[in-house]
Structure 1
């Protein structure tokens, strides 16, 4: 469907610690409406600058500023935008959140914030103008990477180390145990939960549930994994899997296989194609 286009770009090595992927989205429609799955925090530039709003997992409806930050999301959420729609964006890793924003991520869970409040209007105005003047994807990625380097504050080595531990914990098992992360981090359970909420927006158990559901959805759509095999990813039974996948993707397993929305299908298939180029936590979700 040429009316809707989505393309991902992998960040260069020095930026990859802070950004999951850059993305370019275009919808040549009078109104674009779809569901987005739970994800990392985002920075988005609405280059078409028409009205857009999000209905978040908590039920709140929030307008999207021309340049905005979306905090980590705890469940599927809906987007509605007047078309045509053109967006350039980037996903923020937890280390990127700490370096660029620094606030406790749980306080911005399921929130869309005007980015000028966080980063200042001048630099974002310049970046937006440059993005509009340079439609080539490679040029836009270069502009985005320059902005990231400008926004990154003094790196927090402790935050980066903890993020690597959590990411390794998530990648090691489809249903990881909290005690394993506590031992790995060498911290108390309360300290681990507090640091995880500050960087990822949610405590470890909810984070593990989120990734379990996203990986199951990815496998069902990208590799046509049978439902019985998906159940083996740590779900108690079929009804449990249906509830979890629905919460984090907005679709039931049956819908993912047979009725996935265009945005869901493009997101999963294109991210899956990046296997080997990015972290499995990105390509596998």
Structure 2
């Protein structure tokens, strides 16, 4: 039996934790903030509002402030990420004096699961711009509003996409993008993600990497390609490229130049 937090840290008043547990439990307890969890492995049995539910890998759990809850962990290793979201953040986000009540319990929600894990990852990097965007994305998914974007908003998002494509060498600022779109930052991130599958900053990164491939095909040196696209940190460029292509920019360029179109992983 074991239960431990492998990490627990705070960013801008939002606490993030990762818990690993085997054959153990959390007794009934409560939190004064929202607790949003993404289960990564194993099986957890939760008690919430008098009901017992199983939580498996790939599922999310949502607890409102002051909700009485408990957890029982299976003998197989269980691991999950938790985001502890203060009430004031959602009340300010939604423009209400009282904190809104979220849907509560266990859910299959791939987009929310991704939003939780990527917010946790952004919080570890300390990148304030990325962290702000991921928080807006997370809060948008928590609304559980399946309303589709109006046609006018589709056109606005297309204009934002065009702007991002024309400014590949600059890191976009959410304030400027929202002002250009005539939307709030929250609304921009939410609608952009709904319509493209990626938040604006990640979408912009994919455009930059796409252009990097084109430059490398034209025999531009990897370092020069990185500089043209605003990657002043070479390791950042290499890691981002490898994550998408499975190989480094230099190795990709070498293989293209030698006309070997099967790209073995370096």
TM range (shorter): 0.3 to 0.5
- Which structure has the larger Rg? 2
Calculate the TM-score normalised by the size of structure 1. Answer: 0.36
Calculate the TM-score normalised by the size of structure 2. Answer: 0.38
